Amino acid sequence: MVKKTDLGPILEGHPFFDGMDEGARKLIVGCAKNAVFHDDDMVYKEGAAADTFYLIRHGSIALEVHTPAREPLVIETLSNGEILGWSWLVPPYRCRFDARAIGVVRAIAIDAKCLRGKCEKDHSLGYQFYKQFLPVISSRLGAARLQMIDMYGDPIAYAQKTQAVEKDTLPAKPTPGKVKKAKGKKS
């Protein structure tokens, strides 16, 4: 088992910390510990307190949303080198999705309360963290948007609408009924 004091090099090697200064990593390591999840373990559930986020070292985690009359919908699958959890940055600090382990997952758990406190004391650290997390948040929202389109879109209606639009762009051909009426009219 790796001790807390040995997590510094692991944090340094994680892609999330690329470009973050050494002093920031040293502050963060005090909030970090190892975490292991087994297949189908719930890492967290939607609505739960967002008091931890994870640096995935090995394995995969599915972000899921529940929809009526369906199995949970996987919004995104995260794996090695990625971050799980950004809700700890935004009050009221509640998880926005379910997170489920796919196979064995090894991660570094960062205590978000601890880190928020350090960011409050050191605004430079807070700025670095928000700067690192903004692309993560943007990516997750984009993935959720695509899944929502897929979930609520009606593929048959879309195909029919697309075909109708394509027909509207072609020159109109008179139908046999319209031709007869046009010939039968008196001027």
For the stretch 59-98, pLDDT in tens is 999 999 887 778 888 888 999 999 898 888 889 999 988 9
Of all helices (H) and strands (E), which one includes residue 62?
Answer: strand 52-65
Domains, the chain, ranges and CATH? 4-155 (2.60.120.10)
16 touches 83 (CB < 8 A): yes
pLDDT tens per residue, range 111-160: 999 999 998 999 888 888 788 877 777 776 776 677 666 656 655 655 66
- Peptide bond connecting 72 to the previous residue in cis, omega within 30 degrees of 0: no
Beta-bridged to residue 54, according to DSSP, are 84, 109
